[in-house]
Amino acid sequence: MDNPGHVQMFGASTEELRAEIVALRERVAELEGRGGDTYRPIDLSAMLLAEPATFRATPEGLVTEWSCGAERLLGWTQQDIVGHSFLDVLSPPEVPDEHRRVGLDAINHGHLQASRALTTVKGSVPVPCRWTYTVMRDASGTATEIFSELEREHTELRPEETLAHSRHVLLSVVNHAPGAIYVKDMQSRYVMMNRSALRMLGKTLEEVLGRTDEDFFASHVAAHARVQDQRALDERRAVEFEYSVSLPEGTRHIFVTKFPLFDTRGEPIGVCGIGTDITDRKQAEAERLQMQQRMIDAQRAALREMAMPLVPIANGVLAMPLVGAIDSLRAAEIMETLLRGIERYRAHSVILDITGVRMLDTQVATALVSAARAAQLLGAEVLLTGISPSVAQTLVGMGIELSDMITLATLQHGIAYALRNQRLAAAASPRRLGSAPDRAPLESSRPPV
């Protein structure tokens, strides 16, 4: 059921609203008629154009963000520049790549915070801009991001100003480089030297300019430097070498790269040198080699023990199986190991088994006989087992006298002989186990060779 009162109230409210709208329109028209300062429409385009031209890049120079202001200023879109080096895109083509790399390095190290340079515009001629750089760093001080703002300058940069700026950037980087950098003219006189080189020499720039190597180094060092200078000029390429030189800090090892410098016509005008102090590296390398040699020596000792094992068979009985070729060095090691084992184990019998030895020369055979005689002096006898036919022929042909050693066919025969000898000696006499036993009663029980 309709409510007339409600309809009347709604209708009255609508009429009031219409009246207010009419009044507002009249007020707006009145204000617009006055013009000037009382009322100004908002200019959104002006607000948008006020956005600064900025971009963000990695320490390597690759653009990660490109503002709308930068796009309006230079014409490059985000698709054109994001992911590319801002120096490659925004630097004029005539700027050398080396200058671009030097500039980026100066920015990352905080040496370049503002600059003026011609900046390329997409589809147009370069325009002068002022660049400001802010480098973001982590807790360790390492650069993590470059933030830059560009502003159009209305005065054109003169060519000499651009050249002076490039020189300033280059000299700033050279002076802050950790290595020694210097330039000589064609007469080998120093015409430039950076701070690291001056610190290395303990000199000021005034004391160095116009001087030669003969003024600072020993004659042989200066002569070597001149030879390398001339080599770089003659070969027209970079040369590298190491040398030791006496400096105020002591003797240092320097790694040097030298290369020729040319003028615009390709004629040589001097030599540039870059020196790196590698003394600490050389010392670390020497220590590493010493450690490596100690490890090799330890491995050799372990291999010798494995190649010449001294095996206790019973109380007072040792066996040393020998395998492979035996030279004079190894023969000496056999004697040393044998004598140490006799003393350590208080042995009275030592078995040298040469089953695995295929060749024997006069020097080695003599060394084995000498080892047997030395063992006898310590109260032990040596049993030689496992003589092959070829070794036997060699010994006979060389006339080697083996009367100081007992020779048996196999290692098994040698062990049996030594143990039997030990039992008979213990039963016949209360002598200590470490003394040499009598041989006469045992001659008949020796196994044949």
pLDDT tens digits for 279-336? 888 788 888 888 888 888 777 666 655 556 788 888 889 998 887 777 777 778 888 8
Same domain, 272 and 315: no
Is residue 64 over pLDDT 90?
yes
Whether 441 and 388 share a structural domain: yes
The pair of structure tokens assigned to 292 is: 């490596």
Sign of CA pseudo-dihedral 188, 190, 193, 197: positive
Q: What is the pLDDT of residues 72-131, one digit of tens each?
A: 889 999 999 999 999 999 998 888 887 888 889 888 888 778 888 889 999 888 888 989
Instruction: Choose the final residue of a domain: 141, 174, 207.
Output: 174
- Specify whether 219 is located in the same domain as 108: no
Angle, helices 159-176 vs 97-108, to 10°: value is 60
Kindly tell me if the per-residue pLDDT of 148 is higher than 60: yes
Q: Are residues 165 and 182 in the same domain?
A: no
What pLDDT sits at residue 264? 79
* Percent of residues, the chain, with pLDDT higher than 70: 78
Q: Are residues 131 and 201 in the same domain?
A: no
As a whole number, mean pLDDT of residues 335-356 equals 88
Which band of pLDDT confidence, cut at 50, 70 and 90, is reported for residue 439?
Answer: very low
Helix, strand, coil fractions of the chain, as percent rounded to 5: 45, 25, 30
What's the pLDDT at 32? 57
pLDDT class of 229 with cuts at 50, 70, 90:
very high
Residue 198 lies in a domain: yes
Query: Residue 87, Cβ neighbours under 10 Å: how many?
Result: 17
Helix (H/G/I), strand (E/B), else coil: 368: helix
Provide the residue range defining the domain that includes 313. Answer: 308-445
| Position with higher pLDDT, 44 vs 212 | 212
Q: Which residue has the tokens 């042909």?
A: 397
**Does residue 329 form part of some domain?**
yes
Identify whether residues 207 and 317 lie together within a single domain: no
Instruction: Please report the pLDDT score of residue 61 as a whole number.
Output: 94
Give the pLDDT of residue 447: 46
Structure confidence at residue 146 as a pLDDT band (50, 70, 90): very high
Task: Report yes or no on 374 lying in a domain.
Answer: yes
Domain end, chosen from 282, 316, 337, is at: 282
Q: Does the residue 4 lie in any domain?
A: no
Which pLDDT score, from 0 to 100, does residue 117 have? 87
Give the SS3 label for residue 419: helix
Query: For the chain, what is the domain count?
Result: 3
Q: What is the percent of the chain with per-residue pLDDT over 90, rounded to a whole number? A: 17
Instruction: Mean pLDDT check: name the lowest of 129-143, 232-246, 362-376.
Output: 362-376
Under 8 Å between Cβ of 438 and 420: no
Report yes or no on 36 lying in a domain.
no
Residues 6+ apart with CB under 8 A from 350: 317, 318, 319, 320, 338, 341, 342, 375, 380, 381, 382, 383
